[in-house]
C-alpha cells in the first residue's frame, strides 16, 4: 500500500498555498501513474525495478537528537568550508531529508537583498512527462529558494548541502534559484554530502596545482557506514533573468545503495548565461533529467558534466535543450567513466525551434570504458526546424587506448598509475569547464577514491 497519499501530503507543514499545491500534485501523480521503460525517456533504465511502495516519505523533521548532531556538525562543516573548500562562501543551507536544519547568509548577500531559505513562492510545475516532479511538488517538506535581486553581483558561492538518514526513506528536496535582470551568482548544490563528517581513508594528494584540503576527504567521502537505502527525487528550478549570469553545480555523492531521480528545469532569458554542471558519483541508480529552455534572444545555456560509475552503479543523464529564441547558443559536454559492471546512459536532444535562427549548438558525450563488463549507451539527437543554424553532435564509447598505455609504460610508469593518469587526463577537459571551480579539487579527490592509488614516497 503506497504511503504517498493526499492524506500524507497534508501532514507536511507550510503556508496554505503550498498545502493546496501538494494536494493537487498528489492527485495529478495518481492520475498519471508511474513511468515504464517503454517510454522513450525511460528507455535503458531500471525503472521497472522501482516500487514506490517500498519507500516512505519523510513526513516529519528528523528527530531532535539527529538534528542537533547534524546542526552542530553542519556548523563545523560551515567553518571548514569557509576557510578551505569554499573560502568565498556567501550563504549556506544544510538540509536533512529535505528539511532545513541550518542556514546562514553573509552580510554582503543580506545587504544585496538576497533571499535564501524557505521558499516564499514557487514556479509553476512543468512535468515534461517526468512524474517524479509531481511527487516532489507533493512531498517536498521545505522547498528552498535563492532569489538575487536585479543588478546584484555576488562573487561568492551559495552552498546547499543535502544529507539523508533513516531506513527506506524517500526524500524530496526542491530548490528554486531566481536571478533578477543583470545579476550574477554561483551555486554549489551537494546531494549526499556526508555532513556527519565520517572518517575517510587517508589520501595522498597528487601534484595537481589545486589540491583539496585534508578536511574535505572527511566530508566528501561516500558514506558506506550507513547502508540504509534512501530514495531521493531532487528538483531544481533555475530561472536566469535578462543579461544575468548563473553558474550552478550539483555535486552528487550519494551512497552506492541510494536511488536518485533528479530533475533540473531551467529558463534563460535574453543575453543571459547559464552554465550548469553535474558531478555524478554515487547511487545505485542515479538519474538526472535536465530541461533547458533558451527563451530570450542571445541566451546561452552550457552544460559540463562529469560522471564515474563503478561496481554495479547505473548513472543516467537525459538532457532536453530547447533553442526557442534566435541567436541562442549552447555547448553540452558530458564525460563519463564506467568501471566494473557499471552502466551509463546518455540521451540528449537539442531542439531548435522555427524562430531560433542563428542558433549555435554543440553536444558531446564521451564515455571511457575501464572494464570489459561495463556498458554505455549514448544517444545524441538533433531536431532542427530552422535552416540558419550551426549544430553538431559527437558521441564515443571506448576503452583506454592501448597505445596511450604503452607509451606511459614505456616510460616506466606502472599500469595502475598509467591508467589513473589517462583517466585524469580524460576528465581534465570537463574539470576545466565545470561551472563552479571550487568543486574541482573535490571532484578530483572523489575520482581518486574511485581509482585508488597512492604514490610511493
Partner 1 sequence: MTHLIVEDLWAEASGTEVLRGVTLEVKGGQVHAVMGPNGSGKSTLAHVLMGRPNYEVTRGSITLDGQNLAGMSTYERAQAGLFLGMQAPIEIPGVKLTDMLAASYQATGRDTEALMSDLLTEAELVELDASLLKRDVNGDLSGGEKKRSEAVQLAVLQPRVAVLDEVDSGLDVDALRSISKRIERATQEQVPARQSNGAQTPADGLAVLAITHYSRLFAELKPDIVSVLVMGRIVTSGGLELAHQIEANGFEQWDTPDEVGVGIRLGG
Contact footprint for partner 1 (CB under 8 A): 206-207, 402-404, 406-415, 417-418, 421-422, 424-429, 455-456
Q: Which is nearer to partner 1, 4 or 426 (CB)?
A: 426
CA atoms within 13 A on the CB side of 274: 34
C-beta of 199 vs 402, nearer to partner 1: 402
Contact 99, 142 (CB under 8 A): yes
Q: How far is the CB of 247 from partner 1 (least distance, A)?
A: 23
Q: How far is the CB of 204 from partner 1 (least distance, A)?
A: 11
Nearer to partner 1, 272 or 431 (CB): 431
> What is the DSSP pairing of strand 230-232 with strand 259-268?
parallel
Residue number, 212 or 356, with CB nearest to partner 1: 212
For partner 1, the closer CB: 354 or 411: 411
> How are beta strands 115-118 and 144-148 bridged, if at all?
antiparallel
Minimum distance from CB of 397 to partner 1 (Å)? 17
Q: Minimal distance in Å, beta carbon 457 to partner 1?
A: 8
Q: d(Cα 97, Cα 328) in Å, to the nearest integer?
A: 38
- Kindly list the distances between the CA atom of residue 117 and the CA atoms of 90, 110, 248, 381, in Å, as whole numbers in the listed order: 13, 12, 17, 38
Asked if 415 contacts 276 with a C-beta cutoff of 8 angstroms, the reply is no
Q: How far is the CB of 379 from partner 1 (least distance, A)?
A: 24
Task: Enumerate residues 6+ apart whose C-beta is below 8 A from 169.
Answer: 55, 56, 57, 58, 97, 228, 230, 231
Question: What is the CB neighbour count within 10 angstroms for residue 10?
Answer: 12
From CA 146, how far away is CA 262, in angstroms rounded?
19
Nearer to partner 1 by Cβ, of 31 and 402: the residue is 402
Closest distance to partner 1 from the beta carbon of 432 (Å) = 9
Amino acid at each position: 500500500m503506497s504511503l504517498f497519499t493526499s492524506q500524507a501530503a497534508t501532514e507536511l507543514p507550510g503556508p496554505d498555498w503550498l498545502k493546496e499545491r501538494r494536494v493537487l500534485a498528489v492527485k495529478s501523480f495518481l492520475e498519471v501513474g508511474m513511468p515504464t521503460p517503454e517510454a522513450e525517456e525511460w528507455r535503458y533504465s531500471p525503472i521497472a525495478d522501482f516500487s514506490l511502495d517500498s519507500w516512505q516519505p519523510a513526513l516529519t523533521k528528523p528527530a531532535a537528537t539527529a538534528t542537533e548532531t547534524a546542526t552542530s556538525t553542519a556548523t563545523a562543516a560551515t567553518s571548514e568550508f569557509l576557510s578551505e573548500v569554499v573560502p568565498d562562501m556567501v550563504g549556506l543551507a544544510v538540509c536533512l531529508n529535505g528539511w532545513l536544519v541550518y542556514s546562514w547568509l553573509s552580510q554582503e548577500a543580506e545587504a544585496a537583498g538576497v533571499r535564501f531559505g524557505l521558499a516564499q513562492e514557487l514556479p509553476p510545475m512543468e512535468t515534461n512527462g517526468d512524474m517524479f516532479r509531481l511527487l516532489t511538488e507533493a512531498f517536498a517538506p521545505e522547498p528552498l529558494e535563492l532569489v538575487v535581486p536585479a543588478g546584484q553581483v555576488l562573487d561568492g558561492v551559495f552552498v546547499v548541502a543535502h544529507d539523508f538518514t533513516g531506513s527506506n526513506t524517500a526524500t524530496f528536496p526542491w530548490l528554486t534559484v531566481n536571478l533578477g535582470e543583470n545579476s550574477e551568482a554561483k551555486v554549489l548544490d551537494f546531494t549526499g554530502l556526508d555532513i556527519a563528517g565520517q572518517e575517510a581513508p587517508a589520501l595522498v594528494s597528487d601534484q595537481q596545482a589545486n589540491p583539496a584540503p585534508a578536511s574535505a576527504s572527511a566530508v566528501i567521502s561516500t558514506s558506506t557506514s550507513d547502508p540504509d537505502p534512501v530514495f531521493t527525487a531532487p528538483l531544481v528550478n533555475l530561472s536566469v533573468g535578462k543579461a544575468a549570469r548563473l553558474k550552478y553545480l550539483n555535486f552528487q555523492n550519494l551512497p552506492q545503495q541510494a536511488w536518485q531521480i533528479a530533475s533540473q528545469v531551467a529558463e534563460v532569458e535574453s543575453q543571459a548565461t547559464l552554465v550548469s554542471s553535474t558531478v555524478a558519483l554515487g547511487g545505485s541508480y542515479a538519474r538526472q533529467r535536465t530541461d533547458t529552455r533558451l527563451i530570450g534572444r542571445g541566451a546561452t545555456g552550457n552544460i559540463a558534466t562529469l560522471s564515474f560509475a563503478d561496481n554495479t552503479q547505473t548513472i543516467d543523464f537525459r538532457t532536453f535543450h530547447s533553442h526557442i529564441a534566435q541567436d541562442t547558443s549552447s555547448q553540452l559536454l558530458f564525460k563519463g567513466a564506467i568501471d566494473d559492471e557499471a552502466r551509463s546512459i546518455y540521451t540528449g536532444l537539442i531542439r531548435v525551434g522555427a524562430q531560433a535562427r542563428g542558433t549555435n549548438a554543440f553536444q558531446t558525450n564521451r564515455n571511457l570504458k575501464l572494464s570489459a563488463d561495463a556498458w554505455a549507451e549514448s544517444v545524441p539527437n538533433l531536431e532542427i526546424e530552422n535552416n540558419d543554424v550551426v549544430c553538431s553532435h559527437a558521441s564515443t564509447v571506448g576503452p583506454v587506448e592501448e597505445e596511450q598505455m604503452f607509451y606511459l609504460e614505456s616510460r616506466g610508469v606502472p599500469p595502475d598509475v598509467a591508467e589513473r593518469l589517462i583517466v585524469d587526463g580524460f576528465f581534465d577537459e570537463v574539470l576545466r569547464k565545470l561551472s563552479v571551480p571550487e568543486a574541482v579539487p573535490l571532484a578530483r579527490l572523489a575520482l581518486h577514491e574511485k581509482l585508488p592509488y597512492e604514490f610511493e614516497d
